Structure 1
Amino acid sequence: MDILLALALPINLFSIAVLAYAIYFRRHRRADLMFAYIALNVGVFTVSAIMLTQNINLGVAFGLFGVLAIIRLRSDSISQREIGYYFIAIALGLVNGIGSSFPVAMILLNLLLLTVMFVADHALVSGGVERRVLVLDFIINEKEGLRADLEQRLDAEVLRLEVDRVDYVRDTMSVDVRYRPRPPHATYAASANNTATTVQLPAIL
């Protein structure tokens, strides 16, 4: 059992490095969450491995990490995507800590989890769609006018918008927007065309 755990440790470290750095950080650039994923994964792996070797009830471990996960998720504002990475980091630690006695199944589960996260969070799957909640210091009641204003501000194609709150006292409104950013070359071309139309050549006498 000790030899299998010693072999499972580098597999776990490699898997969490791929998840936290190669997949998450290179796409989303949040170093604090990358560190949190690695620390959480290594902690889960260590405690689950110790409980396994000492024949301690694993239900206690699951309950402990469930409480820690709830506390962590309530302590900071993170997106649903980052919550997904959070739980996959926990799953990798548990799989590698508890499943070290079944190395083939453990490796296959690692590959499955990493492949699912790589594909599910790829831009080709999401279509480059992003979400943002905007607070505007004006009110537009007409939806198409609001859409046109948001597209100009975000330099993007607005796919869906929903007005969450309108404050007529402060003259503000909160809007939940789903949009697809325009390619940089399209923005540059449009800017070049607009510039070209405003240039006036001197008259030739």
Structure 2
Amino acid sequence: MIEEIYIRLAIDFVSVFILLRLIYYPNYKKMEFFFTFFIFNLTIFFITFLLNTVDISIGAAFGLFAVFSMLRYRTEGISMKDMTYLFLFIAIGMITAILKGSWGELMLFNFLILGFTYALESDFLLKKELSKTILYENIEMIKPENHPALVEDLRKRTGLKVHRISIDEIDFLKDKAVIQAYYYEK
């Protein structure tokens, strides 16, 4: 059992390292969640590995997975993407700890998760569209007939290759509008 936990832990660590350093960080350049992602994964790994050594029903295992996957920090600062990554770290920890197959199957499952994540995060399948919220003061430009000129004005002011916009709020008292400007990363 001791050497099995070391092998599984090594596979888990390599998978987490690849997900953190080679997929998550290059795309988001945020280090604030590294600790959270790593510790969540490690804790889930150890809990599920230890629970896997005792007999529990499949229903109890799914219930445990549901509890861990539904954990959510009650802050506004966590985006949907970060929550998805947190779920991935939980899933990798659980899969690595409880999969009954061979080491090859275990590495294959982790590779598939990492491969699909990389493919979806890169420009391999889709161009990455980003958005910026802009407080815009030229209220005359928000009229539908002026949208092409508005897009061009936003391109000049921001230096971004804006290709579409949405107007989220209009304040006629202050002559301002809140606009979402959408552009491609590259």
TM-score (norm 2): 0.84
Which residue identity does 1:58 align to in structure 2?
Answer: A
| Aligned pairs for 1:24-173 within 5 A | 24-56=24-56, 57-68=60-71, 71-72=72-73, 74-99=74-99, 102-139=102-139, 140-141=141-142, 142-173=146-177
Distance of 1:152 and 1:42 partners within structure 2 = 47
- Give the fraction of aligned pairs with identical amino acids, expressed as a percent: 22
Q: Offset of 1:38 from its aligned partner? A: 1.3
Q: Per the alignment, do residues 97 and 181 of structure 1 end up closer, same or farther by CA in structure 2, a change over 3 Å counting?
A: closer
Q: Give me the whole-angstrom Cα distance separating, in 1, the residues matched to 2:157 and 2:91.
A: 40
CA contact (8 A) 2:151 2:163 kept: no
Matching residue's letter, 2:178: S
SS in 2 for 1:31: coil
Structure 2 unaligned spans of 5+: none
- TM-score, normalized by length of structure 1? 0.77
Residues 1:181 and 1:102: Cα distance change in structure 2 (over 3 Å): closer
Deviation at 1:94, TM superposition (A): 1.2
Match of 2:4 in 1: 4
Query: Secondary structure, in 3 states, of the residue corresponding to 1:123?
Result: coil
**Larger CA Rg, structure 1 vs 2:** 1
Does the CA-based 8 Å contact 1:5-1:100 persist in structure 2?
no
- How far apart are 1:128 and its partner, in Å? 4.6
Q: How much is the aligned-residue C-alpha RMSD, in angstroms?
A: 2.2
Q: State how far apart, in whole Å, the 1-side matches of 2:105 and 2:185 are.
A: 41
The 10-residue stretch of structure 1 (122-131 or 4-13) with the greater mean CA deviation from structure 2: 122-131
Q: Is the partner of 1:43 in helix, strand or coil?
A: helix
Mean Cα deviation higher: 13-22 or 133-142 = 133-142
Q: 1:55 and 1:181, CA in 2 relative to 1: closer, same or farther beyond 3 A?
A: closer
